[in-house]
Structure 1
Amino acid sequence: MKELPKLELHLHLEGAAPPAFIRGLAAEKSVNLSGIFDARGAYAYRDFVDFLRVYEAACTVLQTPQDFYRLTRAVLEASSAEGVIYTEAFLSPDFCGGRDLDAWRDYLAAMTEAAADAEAADGIVMRGIVTCIRHFGPEAARETARCAAETAGAFITGFGIAGDEMKGAPKDFAYAFDMAREAELQLTAHAGEWGGARSVRDAVRDLGVTRIGHGVQAIEDPALLEELAEAGITLEVCPGSNVALGVYPNWRAHPIERLRKAGVPVTVSTDDPPFFHTTMSGEYENLAQSFGWELPDFAAITYAALDAAFCDTATREALRTRLAPTFGEFT
């Protein structure tokens, strides 16, 4: 599966940090992070809330723009090795200078440089989605949205929200999303991973997003499925993440195939791959084994991702040209 060209729309940059990379930074900075790893050196957490704790602890060693340059290169190298030719990464000013705009610019410059170097070396294209953290609250989200609006452009093309889906309601963050919209950023929001189908409907209605991160619990509401299909709202589905966190007990129980059959645009991503012991090739292999997916199915999700990507027309057409030898002129 590594040979198939892939587009990934739902990847948290910090969450994609290999454990060895974080341990190495911790050693350099004399920070004790032993409590977040298991005996094999992998990230260790009990449930979703504990996952957030471990995630944020790992981020404490990412302290300088140079750290984020190194992180971005490491993540893009790993993605490219899995056949990913285009990726959109969630970037959080909360972890890059504490939402201070000047500091964010410095961190962003490092990540932009790393992305350009990775594209030159490996051919992988990256775009950034500035992402506020839901459990940090609406005021922090406004500061994050300001960082996004002030740096919108060729590299920063989107705005979103992640974090604990059970904290607050989408409408609490409407102001931040309005700021991002005025800056002509494209919008996505995590919903329907833990908050049920209603959280998906609320995110679409109250935040005006064109994509939903996860969104899998929309399967519980047939009327909502019709609405998503009619509006062309794309779901950034991360099956391996959902199974690892216990949203669904196993791959066969995952609703991705039913979502596709309902006409909802579906893409596939890894979310936080080292936390969930997955890769893009691993996702594809599990989809093939669990649902019998073959090349036309992977073509469908790849072109759905291309259509939903937060990139300009020139980038989209260049990617389409790269996909055609494998998938043909899929429409």
Structure 2
Amino acid sequence: MSVADLPKVELHLHHEGAAPPAFVRQLAHEKKVDLTGVFDDQGNYKFTDFVNFLRTYEAATAVLQTPEDFGRLTSAVLEECAANGVVYVESFLSPEFCGCGDLAAWREYLHAIQEAADRAETTHGITLRGVVTCIRHEGPEIAKRTALCAAETAGDWVVGFGMGGDEGKGHQGDFAYSFDMAREAGLKLTTHAGEFGGPESVWEAIRDLNVERIGHGVRAIEDPKLVQEIVARDITLEVCPGSNVVLGLYKDFAAHPIQKLRAAGVKVTVSTDDPPFFGTTMRREYDMLAAAHGWDAEVFAEINQTAARAAFCDEDTRATILKRLEAA
């Protein structure tokens, strides 16, 4: 068995960002939505830098307008994940994309997503859980509305709360109210930091939000004291190497600091972020990491064990996933 064939746990996947281009084009055709400028001549998503990526992302996801659309999206995303050997995935979902933050509408969208997830678990053997995510560049007040949606639907399926978006807007601590609300509802916490925000954004995430996981977090490597703090606090990083390379943080997989972080004792996991935007899959991430860092099946087994233990799911689900990993 090659490393790419191993069963995988993915903790950092944006639900809308995982939409296959063909799926988006089909929805756009059905709804007569103009997507000029979203795709290149080969039919792939087109962008030049991170800010432009966010604009392309928002334009592409404008075709997702109803609970049925999100149900269809969920089926398409999980079929692709399962084809890449993923057995458990946590996906970032924003109520702002699902009913504009209205709680009643969010429940309808969530129901459609869960129904599709249940079908995929039966058909493909893949388990999905949701992490409700506020959007940083939309500001703290809208984040409070998102946190309320998360708190009101927290349970066995909605298992976490986090934040994505433009790290250049505001500070982590601006969103402390929302994270406190989610924590009080029993949700586990993660936030994007240490990607474009640098080490200081990771310090803010730790100090001001007290999160259990950090999305990306790779620029922590620039601050040895921060690396020590991450290890001491037992924080897990949701690392997305292919995304980091495409967006220009590192020139290639060999230059990526994931192995240095791991060697320093940091708990690292591997995910795809927004896979079709970055031309990647979980199988490709594994192949590229194996080639760049010499990782073998034993290392990837350790990475997946780490991811399963850092997952926000209930203990029964975690035990089931761990058994599947161990069986392989």
Normalising by the smaller structure, the TM-score range is: over 0.9
Give the letter aligned to residue 301 of structure 1. I
Cα distance in 2 for partners of 1:78, 1:186 equals 26
Cα distance in 1 for partners of 2:315, 2:155 equals 14
- The alpha-carbon deviation at position 2 of structure 1 amounts to 4.1
Q: What are the superposed Cα offsets for residues 278-324 of structure 1, whole Å, 9 maximum, x if unpaired? A: 00000000000000000111011101101100011100111111111
Q: 2:94 aligns with which of 81, 92, 104?
A: 92
| Equivalent pair of 1:93/1:144 in contact (CA under 8 Å) | yes
The SS at the match of 1:168 is: coil
Find out whether 1:57 has 2:59 as its counterpart.
Answer: yes
Partner of 2:227: 225
Q: 2:251 aligns with which of 236, 249, 252?
A: 249
Partner of 1:45: 47
| Equivalent pair of 2:250/2:256 in contact (CA under 8 Å) | yes
| Equivalent pair of 1:15/1:272 in contact (CA under 8 Å) | yes
- The alpha-carbon deviation at position 34 of structure 1 amounts to 2.4
Partner of 1:111: 113
Q: 1:319 aligns with which of 310, 318, 321?
A: 321
The SS at the match of 1:21 is: helix
Partner of 2:172: 170
Q: 1:78 aligns with which of 56, 77, 80?
A: 80
Cα distance in 2 for partners of 1:181, 1:244 equals 33
- The alpha-carbon deviation at position 192 of structure 1 amounts to 0.1
Partner of 1:264: 266
| Superposition map of 1:178-327 within 5 A | 178-326=180-328
Cα distance in 2 for partners of 1:320, 1:60 equals 37
Q: How many residue pairs end up in the alignment?
A: 326
Find out whether 1:22 has 2:24 as its counterpart.
Answer: yes
Give the letter aligned to residue 149 of structure 1. A
- The alpha-carbon deviation at position 26 of structure 1 amounts to 0.2
Cα distance in 2 for partners of 1:137, 1:19 equals 29
The SS at the match of 1:236 is: strand
The SS at the match of 1:43 is: coil
- The alpha-carbon deviation at position 91 of structure 1 amounts to 0.2
- The alpha-carbon deviation at position 3 of structure 1 amounts to 2.1
Cα distance in 1 for partners of 2:79, 2:36 equals 26
Give the letter aligned to residue 43 of structure 1. Y
- The alpha-carbon deviation at position 206 of structure 1 amounts to 0.4
TM-score, normalised to structure 2's length? 0.99
Cα distance in 2 for partners of 1:325, 1:106 equals 37
The SS at the match of 1:131 is: strand
| Equivalent pair of 1:229/1:263 in contact (CA under 8 Å) | yes
Dislocated runs of 4+, deviation >6 Å: none
- The alpha-carbon deviation at position 204 of structure 1 amounts to 1.0
The SS at the match of 2:37 is: helix
Cα distance in 2 for partners of 1:151, 1:210 equals 20
TM-score, normalised to structure 1's length? 0.98
Q: 2:153 aligns with which of 146, 151, 154?
A: 151
Partner of 1:4: 6
- The alpha-carbon deviation at position 197 of structure 1 amounts to 0.7
Give the letter aligned to residue 242 of structure 2. G
Cα distance in 1 for partners of 2:37, 2:299 equals 41
Cα distance in 2 for partners of 1:254, 1:321 equals 31
The SS at the match of 1:188 is: strand
| Equivalent pair of 2:4/2:287 in contact (CA under 8 Å) | no
Unaligned runs of 5+ in 2: none
Partner of 1:329: none
Cα distance in 1 for partners of 2:99, 2:203 equals 33
Q: 1:101 aligns with which of 100, 103, 121?
A: 103
| Equivalent pair of 2:240/2:270 in contact (CA under 8 Å) | yes
The SS at the match of 1:93 is: coil
| Equivalent pair of 1:2/1:81 in contact (CA under 8 Å) | no
The SS at the match of 2:34 is: coil
The SS at the match of 2:100 is: coil
- The alpha-carbon deviation at position 251 of structure 1 amounts to 1.0
Q: What are the superposed Cα offsets for residues 193-226 of structure 1, whole Å, 9 maximum, x if unpaired? A: 0111111011011011000000000000101111
Partner of 1:67: 69
The root-mean-square deviation of aligned C-alpha atoms, in Å, is 0.6
